[in-house]
Each structure stands twice: as C-alpha cells, then as structure tokens.
C-alpha cells in the first residue's frame, strides 16, 4: 500500500460549479473527467450540490442564523454533499452518508477538499484499484488544517486508482470540493494525454530531478507507462502508444 502527495497541480479539476442546489451528481463528469459519483451504502442514490451561504442540505439549521455558511475552496459557490437535507434542524445532521467516486480510465493521483471537519469528527479517504486497497488517509479535527467552515486537503497517489471512497462520520455536516486528478501519460498534469506531454515525458526519462523542479506539482509515476516502478527508456514505446490512443489505460 502506498500513500503519496500531490500539491495544487494544473490537473483535471472537478469543482461542481454550474449546478443548482440539491442537484444530484452521478455521471455528469463521466464524459469529460471519466468520473462517476454514488453513495457508498446506497449505490442507486447520488450525492447532491450544496451552495455557499445559507445552505440547508449540508449543515444543520432551519434558518440562516444556525448555519455554518461554509467556505468553498475554489473561488466558486458550489460543493458536493450527501442528500440528507430537508431543511429541518435535526434531520440535516442525522445521518452522514459516504461518497464513492469511480474512475474510467483509472487515475494515478487525487487531491480533494473536505469542508467543515470539527467537533470530534474523523474523515477517511480510501483509494482502490479494483477491490485492492492502494492508499488511505484519515484526518480528524485535531490534525493541522482542519477547522469549522474551512476546507481540509486530502492527497493520495498510487500506480492505479479506479475508485475512491470518502468515509464520513455517522453524524456529520460536510461538503467535498476541488477534486484534482491525474492519469498515467499525463506528464504535464493538465488532465489530458496529448502532444503537450512529450517534452515533460522526455525530461522525466532523461533527468527525474530536473522534471521534479520543472513540474513540482506533478507525480513522476505518470511517466512510468510500463508500470515497472521506474521511468526509463522502456517507457518510450508505450508512451507513443498512449499518444496515438489518447490515453494509457
């Protein structure tokens, strides 16, 4: 099992902007990002949008004075939460529902924000390749970067990630935002595998240290096309195949 980090990359981003509050999110990001959303314990239901301000679907309270009015993390107004919300003070906070994200093709790294980790709450983000766990990170309200109303960053990386599960407390008000993903072959971390990856890929093969300096927010294993754990000349031919096919998976 491996756990790595990805700082703020110029990668493919899911920010949930452009939706109305309470919109269910399922396969809207499948054509553009290869990502589909569901609820972990109820795969036939889906998470929903919460808007910044007096949100009644993610945070407790029947009127604005009782709400956290949480911040989103990308300069927008929208984030994702579970569909508890009915607008009543108690039921909004009654049951926390965990979120699952499936990726096709598979990704190599993910970073996401969970907003409003406080009051003894603990959140876990788990990554899988098929049924095999490949990375996991748990943070609670005592960890640095956690606070009421504010986003806390979770970062995971592995050779392949096909599914991510966001495990939330049984009683919680929270939201997820600003999901960044990268894929094998995406050597410049712009969310695509294309000719703009050629020069960064060559640099990764020739000089990994220079690649890290030139692309500090990228995951060098994106250039390990043959999955042998190294970035070498043996990755060149499969990288060319990636370019021809528009992806590596």
pLDDT of residue 94: 53
> What pLDDT does 90 receive?
40
Q: How confident is the model at residue 91, as a pLDDT?
A: 43
- Contact (CB, 8 A) for 205 and 240: no
Q: What pLDDT is recorded for position 59?
A: 57
Q: What pLDDT, on the 0 to 100 scale, is given for residue 63? A: 53
Q: Looking at residue 68, what is its pLDDT?
A: 55
- Report pLDDT for 210: 96
Q: What is the pTM of this model?
A: 0.79
Q: How many helices (H) and strands (E) does the chain have?
A: 4, 9
Neighbours of 12 (CB within 10 A): 21
Q: In which residue ranges of the chain is pLDDT below 50?
A: 1-10, 61-62, 85-92
What angle do the packed helices 198-206 and 236-245 form, to 10 degrees? 170
- Please give, one letter per residue, the 3-state secondary structure of the chain: CCCCCCCCCCCEEECCCCCCCCCECCCCCHHHHCEEEEECCECCCCCEEEECCCCCCCCCCCCHHHCCCCCCCCCCCEEEECCCCCCCCCHHHCCCCCEEEEEEEEEEEEEEEEECCCCCCEEEEEEEECCEEEEEEEEECCCCCCCCCCEEEEEEEEEEEEEEEEECCCCCCCEEEEEEEECCCCCCCCCCCCHHHHHHHHHHHHCHHHHHHHCCCCCHHHHCCCCCCCCCHHHHHHHHHHHHHCCCC
Q: Which domains does the chain have, with CATH numbers?
A: 12-182 (2.60.120), 195-245 (no CATH)
The residues pairing with 13 across neighbouring beta strands, listed in sequence order, are 180
Structure tokens at 220: 């060098």
pLDDT for the residue numbered 10: 35
């Amino acid at each position: 099992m491996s756990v790595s980090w990805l700082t703020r990359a110029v990668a493919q981003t899911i920010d949930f902007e452009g939706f109305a509050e309470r919109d269910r999110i399922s396969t809207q990001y499948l054509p553009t990002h290869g990502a589909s959303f569901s609820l972990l314990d109820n795969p036939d239901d889906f998470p929903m949008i919460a808007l910044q301000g007096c949100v009644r679907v993610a945070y407790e309270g029947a009127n604005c004075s009782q709400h956290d009015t949480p911040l989103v993390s990308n300069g927008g107004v929208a984030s994702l939460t579970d569909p508890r919300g009915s607008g009543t003070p108690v039921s909004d906070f009654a049951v926390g529902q965990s979120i699952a994200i499936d990726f096709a093709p598979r990704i190599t790294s993910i970073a996401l924000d969970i907003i409003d980790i406080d009051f003894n709450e603990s959140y876990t983000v788990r990554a899988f390749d098929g049924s095999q766990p490949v990375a996991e990170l748990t943070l609670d309200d005592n960890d640095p970067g956690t606070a009421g109303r504010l986003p806390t960053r979770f970062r995971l990386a592995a050779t392949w990630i096909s599914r991510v599960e966001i495990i939330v407390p049984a009683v919680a008000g929270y939201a997820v935002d600003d999901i960044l993903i990268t894929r094998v072959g995406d050597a410049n971390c712009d969310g695509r595998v294309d000719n703009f990856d050629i020069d960064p890929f060559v640099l990764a093969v020739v000089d990994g240290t220079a690649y890290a300096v030139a692309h500090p927010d990228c995951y060098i294993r994106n250039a390990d096309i043959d999955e042998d754990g190294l970035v070498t000349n043996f990755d060149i031919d499969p990288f060319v195949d990636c370019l021809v096919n528009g992806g590596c998976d």
